[in-house]
A and B are shown apart, each in its own frame.
Chain A
Amino acid sequence: MNMSDLFVDTMLSTLHDVLPIVVVLLGFQLLVLRQPIPHLWSVIRGFVYVLLGLALFLMGLKEAIFPLGKMMAMQLTDPHFLYGAAATIPEIIRWQDYAWVYIFAFAIGMATTLAEPALIAVGIKAQQVSGGAISALGLRIAVSLGVAVGVSIGCFRIVTGTDLWLYVMAAYVVVIIQTRFAPRMIIPLAYDSGGVTTSTITVPLLAALGLGLASTIPGRSPLIDGFGLIAFASVFPIMSVMGYAQLSQKIGKSQQIKEADNAL
Chain B
Amino acid sequence: MTDKLQPMWNTFRDAFRPLVEAVRDLTPIIVVILFFQEIVLEQPIPNLGELLAGLLFVLVGLALFIRGLEIGLFPLGEAMAHAFAKKGSVFWLLLFAFLLGFSTTVAEPALIAVAGKAAEVAAQGGVIEHGEMAMADYAFNLRMVVALSVGSAIVLGVLRIIFGWPLHLCIMAGYILAVVITYFAPEEIIGIAYDSGGVTTSTITVPLVTALGVGLATSIRGRNPVLDGFGLIAFASLLPMIFVMLYGIITA
Residues on A facing B (Cβ under 8 Å)? 13, 16-18, 20-21, 23-25, 28-29, 32-33, 35, 37-39, 42-65, 68-69, 71-72, 75-76, 81, 100, 104, 107-108, 110-112, 114-115, 117-118, 120-122, 124-126, 129-130, 133-134, 164-165, 168-169, 172, 175-176, 179, 184-185, 187-189, 191-192, 194-201, 203, 223-225, 227-228, 230-231, 233-234
Contacts and interface: CB of A to CB of B under 8 A. Distances in A.
Contacts of A117: 62, 65-66, 203
A184 B227 contact: yes
Contact of B66 (A37, A53, A133, A169): A53
Given A114-B28, A129-B214, A56 B61 contact: yes
Nearest to B29: A111
Nearest to B236: A195
Nearest to B99: A24
Contact of A165 (B92, B182, B214): B182
B79 interface: yes
Given A64-B58, A65-B33, A228-B194, A188 B231 contact: yes
18 contacts: A20-B103, A21-B100, A24-B96, A57-B61, A64-B58, A68-B33, A75-B41, A112-B29, A115-B28, A118-B206, A118-B207, A124-B70, A194-B237, A198-B199, A203-B199, A228-B195, A234-B197, A234-B198
Nearest to A68: B33
Nearest to B191: A227
B68 interface: yes
Interface residues of B, number: 103
B57 A59 contact: yes
Contacts of A164: 190-191, 194
Interface in B61-98: 61-76, 79-80, 83-84, 87, 92, 96
Contacts of A172: 175, 179
Interface string B93-122: 000100110011011111000000100110
Contacts of B60: 53, 56
Given A126-B230, A196-B201, 8 more contacts: A37-B76, A46-B71, A60-B59, A122-B230, A200-B202, A201-B29, A224-B121, A224-B191
Interface of B: 25-26, 28-29, 31-33, 35-37, 40-41, 43, 45-46, 50-76, 79-80, 83-84, 87, 92, 96, 99-100, 103-104, 106-110, 117, 120-121, 124, 167-168, 171-172, 175, 179, 182, 187-188, 190-192, 194-195, 197-208, 210-211, 214, 225-234, 236-237
Nearest to B183: A165
Nearest to A234: B198
B51 A38 contact: no
A57 B79 CA distance: 27
A146 B32 CA distance: 17
